[in-house]
Chains A and B, each alone.
Chain A
Amino acid sequence: MSVNRKHGVSPALENRMKRSAIDLIAHAGKALNMDHVAMGTAVVIFHRYYATHSFLLNDKFLIAMACLYLGGKLEDTPKSARDVITACCMRRYGPEVAGLSLRNHDFLTAARERLFLAERAVLYALRFDVAIEHPFGTMLAALRRPALTRVWQEWGQAHPGSVSFQQMCINLLNDSYKLPLCLMFPACHVALACIWTVMKVLRIPTRLSDDGVTPWWQEHGMQHEDLKEISCMLLERLYHADDGAGGTVGPVSAACPTPTPPKQLRAVGVKRKAGETGGAEEYNDLFDELLA
């Protein structure tokens, strides 16, 4: 049993706590003008930390701040402790309250001390295993394959003015960081599954290949089962679980997809053609198809 279950933190609560902390990392990172690799690293180490540590004993705000600080250092875009504290407090407390606190010298000194302490706690928890792999490279390489190049070119021609296929893939990939997929799957598998999911959602046939034999996703030891599993997790827990219902690890049960308006998918940039009907129905179909 995980530490959080032992302490009575339900999966739903854990999920919600993680969401808000990752949200903080993303917004503060953006305010600090950090690149996506550094923010990604911050989120991955956050997931890793809370895989073994309790939300009740470790302040998620402090740990998120330490992860962001550490992520910047690890990816060679270090931000000063002061800037990180400022950005995080601004995001969390709002400009008025944060501004007041940050002008207080004692507050800042104490915050720095706590930040350094938390930074070391995170490093010890990770046992200094700090080389984090990211899925971005795999995704870009996959999108350059001939089979997929055709897909996004055709899709772009058919839907001028819409969000591009590649952008949807990247958006989904960015969103995937909210789930602890990095603890369960290699980064390259997540990248491939994101592309696959977008193709499924857009109703593009997925069994494509460069040479007519091996499907495009068959690299890095990727299995069809993994694709389906990651894809289900993405769709179900990322765009369904805002109410905190998600949290079970493992393949989703067939009963899971409750009717959901298609607005959930708009987060990734998926737009429906005019005149197309039932969103929920189609969404259910998609799940059935994935689970088939």
Chain B
Amino acid sequence: MYALPLQTGELVAIKKIRVGEKGEGVNVTALREVKLLRELHHPNIVRLLDVWPSRRGIALVFEYMETDLERVIRDRAVLLTGADVKAYLRMVLAGLAHCHARWVVHRDVKPDNFLLASSGALKLADFGLARPYGSPDRPFTHQVFARWYRAPELLYGSTCYGPGVDVWAAGCIFAELLLRRPWFSAESDVGVLNKIFTALGTPRDANWGGLRAMPAFVEFQPTPPAPLRSLFPNVAVAPDDALDLLSRMVCLAPAQRISAADALRHRYFRVDPAPTPQERLPKPGRAGVRVAAAAASAKRPGGEREATPAAEAGGPAPAGMDSGDVRFLKKRRLQMDAALDDAADA
């Protein structure tokens, strides 16, 4: 029942989580991550290989990932063609669609949480904020996501939302792939809302039922939407189909926003150019060694989360392990197994 595969010769990344720092035993975020990742198996979701007890906490063992989408976008030396953007977006949406089909909303979708494997596959990581959704009477916190990727309903303080928040963030990533800079970057919630409404127009009551009843509703000067083409003038990278999909993903009213699964069926993915095959996708020049999901926080001033128990990457994570480390891990692994068996027999 509890068959644990022994990993041999495979590079892994370890996320160490200290236990009992806040006086509440094993971290809830860590448990959530373990619980959800054990159930989610998809080529575009990072694999949790194992969980070990470690001296002062628990260690989550992930597959090793080379870099992340954030670096791809930031690296000026990388040229992203229309086909590359399409390939990345398809992997983003495929990962999310898988989560949503299993009633999990990730709630922390941003470029640095999409890790890039050496095979070119893009994988969603860091499920510390993810939650199962669908129970009608469980209020959620709206303090999720990095601020720039927060959907308008979250900025308006909604405590009852669904997978649409992830799709909004994916839409922001899509725009970021096209623009090569964050779309709605601002220092405050109101600043982000202002940027959103400048680009997409203010929401009208007719389109968004219950808009004025939102907990933190703020009236903005009515603005008409700007044509998306004026914001994304490059037709080669962003053809009309791309902008049509983008407009559906960043639809202001959550009820009318396209779902991740429907977005994957959009015309954009069926017309030329075909998405670039994974192995031919451009990679950032200095493929900085990065430990999967271990860092991922507080890199950008505006992108920081607030009031959420996230980013508890305790202890220095080993960066760039060589084969010696893997041998060590394997040995360690066997010892752990033996210890566990002893405990079971006792």
Contacts and interface: CB of A to CB of B under 8 A. Distances in A.
Contact of B343 (A69, A73, A124): A124
B116 to A, nearest CB: 26
A81 B343 contact: no
Interface stretch (B21-29, B184-192, B267-275, B315-323): B21-29
B345 to A, nearest CB: 8
Nearest to B60: A128
A249 interface: no
Contact of A57 (B24, B28, B346): B346
A120 B26 contact: yes
Interface in B127-142: 131-132, 138
A56 to B, nearest CB: 11
B38 A116 contact: no
A80 B58 CA distance: 20
A70 B31 CA distance: 9
Interface string A259-288: 000000000000000000000000000000
B294 to A, nearest CB: 18
B287 interface: no
Given A124-B340, A130-B31, 20 more contacts: A53-B344, A54-B346, A73-B26, A76-B32, A76-B132, A78-B28, A80-B24, A81-B24, A115-B25, A116-B19, A116-B20, A116-B25, A116-B26, A119-B26, A120-B25, A123-B26, A124-B343, A125-B344, A127-B4, A131-B36
A74 B31 contact: yes
Contact of A74 (B19, B25, B35): B35
Nearest to A113: B20
B277 interface: no
B25 A69 contact: yes
Contacts of A52: 344
Interface string A48-59: 000011100100
A200 B20 CA distance: 50
Main secondary structure of the interface of B (DSSP, over half): mixed
B38 A120 contact: no
A129 interface: yes
A58 B279 CA distance: 52
Contacts of B36: 131
B309 to A, nearest CB: 11
Nearest to A132: B35
A119 B25 contact: yes
A112 B34 CA distance: 23
B51 interface: yes
Given A80-B24, A81-B23, A124-B343, A131 B138 contact: no
Interface of A: 3, 52-54, 57, 69-70, 73-74, 76, 78, 80-81, 112, 115-116, 119-120, 123-125, 127-131
Nearest to B38: A131
Contacts of B328: none
30 contacts: A54-B346, A57-B346, A73-B26, A76-B132, A78-B24, A80-B24, A81-B23, A81-B24, A81-B25, A115-B25, A116-B20, A116-B25, A119-B25, A120-B25, A120-B53, A123-B53, A124-B343, A125-B343, A127-B2, A127-B4, A128-B34, A128-B58, A129-B2, A129-B38, A130-B31, A130-B34, A130-B35, A131-B35, A131-B36, A131-B39
A54 B343 CA distance: 11
Contacts, number: 64
B18 to A, nearest CB: 12
Given A74-B31, A76-B132, A115-B25, A130 B38 contact: yes
Contacts of B25: 69, 73, 81, 115-116, 119-120
Given A73-B31, A116-B20, A120-B53, A127 B26 contact: no
Contact of B53 (A69, A124, A131): A124
A5 B32 CA distance: 35
A120 B18 CA distance: 12
Interface in B237-270: none
A240 B321 CA distance: 59
Contacts of A123: 26, 53, 58
Interface in B39-91: 39, 51, 53, 58
A112 B26 contact: no
Contacts of B4: 127
Contacts of A74: 31, 35
Contacts of B346: 54, 57
A80 B19 CA distance: 15
Interface in B72-114: none
Nearest to B132: A76
Given A53-B344, A76-B131, A112 B23 contact: yes
A73 B25 CA distance: 10
B56 to A, nearest CB: 11
A80 B28 CA distance: 11
Contacts of A128: 34, 38, 51, 58
A259 B127 CA distance: 54
A115 to B, nearest CB: 7
Given A73-B26, A76-B138, A116-B20, A127 B38 contact: no
Contacts of A112: 23
A97 B131 CA distance: 39
A69 B132 CA distance: 19
A112 B138 CA distance: 28
A54 to B, nearest CB: 8
Contacts of B20: 116
A202 B191 CA distance: 64
